Structure 1
């Protein structure tokens, strides 16, 4: 009997020991990795979670909200401890949050806010501030003239936030009659062809364009292509964001005015730290007081600041920080 008790005690210790060392499993739902910045986000996030003793299961929806919803169900059934979402659609993703909460899985929204749900945590850049920075830079160089605004999909909350930032700066100049908005468009996808269609349409109508503010560098690159076909390279001020390598090259060559560099390492690392805490049942907020309203509740949040990159500071920003390699830009 004593022998049986010893064996039982041995296996109990093994069970308890293994349970204490179980890796927290993080599910990461991504919209896409077609744009280079998202591949960087993924790699940085996975690296930090691994460093913190966790593991990550990554699912990529290829910009299909229904696929992302099914991927969420798959991860929930696999028994993840926390769900991190870069939502394809802010409304569909709310259904994912509600489903996860039924199984007591906490949810963190990464980069894009998820609307109208009991979201646990949100980490992003301050997108209103980024929009303001884009508009402020261009209006200092071109305080009068015709402006075209190319926003991203309205299914992405960031598109609306950027637009609010643009208008915070532009509206007073519009009211004075200094700036004329010749196009104010929200496109269906964050893709170059969408920016191309908008600008080509304006040029085909004979519109004079002095400046273009685009929601990201992909849209800006499409606008640049449309201008290039009319041999108007470098004649129109253009703002984008994300600091894509192609955008950095366009800035160096004089075809794009600015981009906005998001601190992806800080974004991914802070998200990873919060996710691992949540997976362990801990509060990720550390008594934070900052919150963002998602239409349902005040969500605890971290909002980081973006940085303007132009021809004058490209070496001091994205190159010096190792975000892009000098040889990639000046090859």
Structure 2
């Protein structure tokens, strides 16, 4: 009888203990879903994690770094197995990573690198390359003239990466005197009004602008609004990023020159696969050799390539791939 009770007790213990096949719970900390693309990232990521047998708890910080830190603590208390962060602030988020490590929770940075911490994984696009694509496209069309650069907030590492890409292309032309940088600054938020303020200030001061390179489509849309107020629709070359629906419409109607389309589906799916592996204690970096330096260590990484979208290829890119619907663009 004692042997039967012992066997039953062992069976019950094994049954109750979480095993390798238990459903992994992934925490997803987001900066915002106010911008169109981030809602798509969220939906794609959750979809893929669920396909892989996991579940996702999503928390959105509304661009407040302190709120995001508190949300991380809430997720740790809820018992997540891995954490994915789209950081509000690359430095504040390092504290989240350090706290997660104390609880042995692996962390993946999504689209924005987190600095100076023991990060497990990073997935994004090659943002230096995206900056180069933006600048190369505009300079081929307008190799001489007055350029304006509107960088995003420096708390987002991508802003700096994009700027490096811009200057890789522009600096030789600036040195030759072919291009003059009328304004070369970073704003404090990824919001349209910030792009509007930069361009409105220059136009009100009587400056002639030939081309604008913006860190994202929201900043570009603000610049377009300022140009519209000065009856300059379609007169200035403008490059943005993210392939927002309004940006695609602006391109079709001739008010924006290009945007850069990030492969969100591939990025979200790769992040989901890596997060589920991390949650199960597996190494997501098998057969990978690419790394990115975050100031503390070389972080295993996947960097995908962005694609330029212009008026000529809009149907062959974002529409054919289902990123935006044709009726949304040509309504």
Q: TM-score, normalised by structure 2?
A: 0.98
Deviation at 1:78, TM superposition (A): 1.2
Aligned residue in 2 for 1:139: 139
Are 1:294 and 2:297 an aligned pair?
no
Are residues 102 and 7 of structure 1, via their aligned partners in 2, closer, same or farther at CA, if it must alter by over 3 Å?
closer
Distance in structure 1 (CA, Å) of the matches to 2:5 and 2:274: 44
Deviation at 1:14, TM superposition (A): 3.2
Aligned residue in 2 for 1:14: 15
SS of the residue corresponding to residue 292 of structure 1 reads: strand
Aligned residue in 2 for 1:274: 274
Aligned residue in 2 for 1:327: 327
Deviation at 1:9, TM superposition (A): 5.1
Count of residue pairs brought into register by the alignment: 330
Are 1:308 and 2:308 an aligned pair?
yes
Aligned residue in 2 for 1:172: 172
Q: CA RMSD in A?
A: 1.1
Aligned residue in 1 for 2:63: 63
SS of the residue corresponding to residue 207 of structure 2 reads: coil
Distance in structure 2 (CA, Å) of the matches to 1:133 and 1:274: 28
Are 1:224 and 2:191 an aligned pair?
no
Distance in structure 2 (CA, Å) of the matches to 1:91 and 1:20: 34
Are residues 7 and 291 of structure 1, via their aligned partners in 2, closer, same or farther at CA, if it must alter by over 3 Å?
closer
Distance in structure 1 (CA, Å) of the matches to 2:20 and 2:178: 65
Distance in structure 1 (CA, Å) of the matches to 2:99 and 2:15: 34
> Which runs of 5 or more structure 1 residues have no equivalent in the other structure?
none
Distance in structure 2 (CA, Å) of the matches to 1:225 and 1:11: 66
Structure 1 residues 68-79: aligned runs within 5 Å: 68-79=68-79
Identify the range of structure 1 (190-199 vs 73-82) with the bigger mean alpha-carbon deviation: 73-82
Are 1:82 and 2:82 an aligned pair?
yes
Are 1:33 and 2:49 an aligned pair?
no
Distance in structure 2 (CA, Å) of the matches to 1:127 and 1:13: 47
8 Å CA contact 2:151–2:185 kept in 1: the answer is yes
Distance in structure 2 (CA, Å) of the matches to 1:141 and 1:86: 35
Deviation at 1:38, TM superposition (A): 0.2
SS of the residue corresponding to residue 238 of structure 2 reads: strand
8 Å CA contact 2:130–2:162 kept in 1: the answer is yes
SS of the residue corresponding to residue 19 of structure 2 reads: helix
Deviation at 1:6, TM superposition (A): 5.8
Q: Summarize deviations over 1:131-190 as a string: whole Å, max 9, x none.
A: 000000000000000000000000000000000000000000000000000001100100
Are 1:245 and 2:228 an aligned pair?
no
Are 1:119 and 2:119 an aligned pair?
yes
Q: TM-score, normalised by structure 1?
A: 0.98
Deviation at 1:79, TM superposition (A): 1.2
